[in-house]
């Protein structure tokens, strides 16, 4: 098994490296990695329906989509991500417990008694410390998960808070859980760098065949290209979302605004506006101009500017 610690906190590079290793290597892989503030949605989720759009946009929190299914997770420098990529003989060898067991055992070495819950989570004292997901490619399985070590849980909660009923559709929805940091269960918490070392060394020492691996220049070039052409693109992050309906009601300057929109590939397809915030003369114009455009702040703001409408952020964010 090749054990990897990427020398970057770029979430798009790390997610691209998973796909690259899955598709192009034959070796078993274990990787530990971190990223700066990022909301990562599952492959089949509606990104807009999983995030507080205003909160994430105004704070520069990145949005990413991974190639595995499942629910939304939050990454920051207080979180550690682990990735297993293994060759398997058949479906009978694909189980979440096979991949979470080494993590549970490594945590036990530090006095942390974690247990699996349902299919996707690791819990300590009933609180979630890890969310997991899988993706299968031919005879190889990718399993990855988070380890909330010393994350900003307030930031996490705010970034993935969504008003109920605003977004509806057939996309996979996340199950919200009560989360905790691993440090809460440690008498003397280690610096996160040492925590990473413990997890990595446990895996390295689990077999005499395991060894460290560093990405070559060729690896990095290919991964960067994949990150640039796929994972960093709006089309993958948002445009890949299943179709959804959007509805929002707002009070602006003493007026009412009700927006209904059908969205496909994160683009406005059918827009209906009600209330007395916009004049009756402008409603049809606004709906027409937005049709076909991305469901983004920039698109809504630009059309408001073109039509001479109020571009106050409170107005623009009412569309999200």
pLDDT digits (tens, 9 = 90+) for 147-160: 999 999 999 999 99
Average pLDDT score, the chain = 96
Q: How many domains does the chain have?
A: 2
Q: Are residues 50 and 184 in the same domain?
A: yes
The helices-and-strands tally (H runs, E runs) of the chain is 10, 15
CA angle 278, 284, 286 (to 5 degrees): 65
Q: Considering Cα of 10, then 15, then 16, then 20, what sign does the dihedral take? A: positive
Domain boundary (237, 252, 269) is at 237
Higher pLDDT, 95 or 136: 136
Q: Are residues 107 and 168 in the same domain?
A: yes
State percent of the chain over pLDDT 70.
Answer: 100
Q: Are residues 60 and 191 in the same domain?
A: yes
Q: Are residues 29 and 170 in the same domain?
A: yes
Cα(300)–Cα(305) distance, integer angstroms = 9
Q: Are residues 174 and 297 in the same domain?
A: no
Q: What is the pLDDT of residue 94?
A: 78
Give the HSE-up count for residue 61: Cα atoms under 13 Å, Cβ half-sphere.
25
Sheet containing 121-124: give its strands across.
115-117, 121-124, 127-137, 140-148, 79-87, 29-33, 2-4, 211-212
CATH of the domain at 126: 3.30.930.10
- Region 283-305: mean pLDDT is 98
- DSSP structure class, residue 173: -
Q: Are residues 225 and 253 in the same domain?
A: no
Q: Are residues 254 and 203 in the same domain?
A: no
141: pLDDT strictly greater than 80: yes
105: pLDDT strictly greater than 90: yes
CATH of the domain at 261: 3.30.390.50
Q: Are strands 140-148 and 127-137 parallel, antiparallel or unpaired?
A: antiparallel
Q: Could you tell me the pLDDT band of residue 162, with boundaries at 50, 70 and 90? A: confident
Residue ranges making up the domain that contains 181: 2-237
2: pLDDT strictly greater than 80: yes
Q: Are residues 296 and 195 in the same domain?
A: no
pLDDT digits (tens, 9 = 90+) for 256-281: 999 999 999 999 999 999 999 999 98
Domain boundary (213, 237, 261) is at 237
Q: Return the exposure string of 277-289: e unless at least 16 CB atoms fall within 10 Å of the residue's CB, then b.
A: bbeeebbeebbeb
Domain boundary (212, 237, 262) is at 237
49: pLDDT strictly greater than 80: yes
Q: Enter the tokens of residue 21.
A: 């290793």
Comparing 39-53, 106-120, 216-230, 252-266, the range with the smallest average pLDDT is: 106-120
CA angle 56, 62, 63 (to 5 degrees): 90
Q: Are residues 191 and 74 in the same domain?
A: yes
């Amino acid at each position: 098994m090749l054990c990897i610690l990427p020398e970057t906190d770029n979430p798009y590079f790390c997610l691209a490296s998973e796909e690259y290793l899955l598709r192009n290597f034959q070796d078993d892989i274990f990787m530990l990695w971190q990223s700066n503030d990022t909301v990562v949605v599952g492959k089949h989720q509606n990104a807009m329906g999983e995030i507080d759009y205003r909160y994430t946009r105004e704070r520069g929190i990145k949005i990413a989509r991974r190639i595995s299914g499942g629910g939304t997770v939050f990454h920051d420098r207080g979180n550690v991500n682990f990735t297993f990529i293994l060759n398997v003989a058949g479906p009978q060898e694909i189980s979440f417990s096979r991949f979470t067991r080494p993590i549970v055992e490594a945590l036990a070495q530090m006095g942390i008694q974690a247990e699996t819950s349902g299919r996707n989570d690791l819990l300590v004292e009933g609180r979630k410390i890890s969310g997991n997901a899988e993706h299968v490619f031919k005879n190889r399985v990718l399993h990855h998960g988070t380890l909330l070590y010393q994350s900003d849980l307030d930031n996490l909660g705010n970034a993935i808070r969504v008003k109920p009923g605003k977004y509806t559709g057939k996309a996979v929805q996340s199950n919200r859980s009560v989360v905790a940091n691993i440090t809460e269960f440690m008498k003397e918490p280690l610096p996160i760098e040492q925590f990473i070392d413990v997890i990595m060394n446990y895996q390295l020492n689990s077999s005499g065949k395991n060894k460290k691996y560093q990405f070559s220049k060729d690896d990095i070039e290919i991964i960067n290209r994949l990150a640039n052409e796929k994972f960093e693109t709006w089309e993958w992050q948002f445009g890949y979302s299943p179709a959804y309906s959007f509805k929002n009601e707002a009070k602006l300057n003493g007026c009412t605004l009700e927006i209904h929109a059908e969205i496909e590939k994160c683009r406005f397809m059918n827009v209906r506006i009600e209330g007395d915030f916009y004049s009756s003369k402008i409603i049809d114009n606004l709906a027409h101009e937005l049709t076909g455009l991305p469901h983004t702040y920039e698109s809504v703001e630009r059309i408001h500017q073109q039509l001479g409408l109020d571009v106050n952020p409170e107005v623009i964010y009412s569309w999200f």
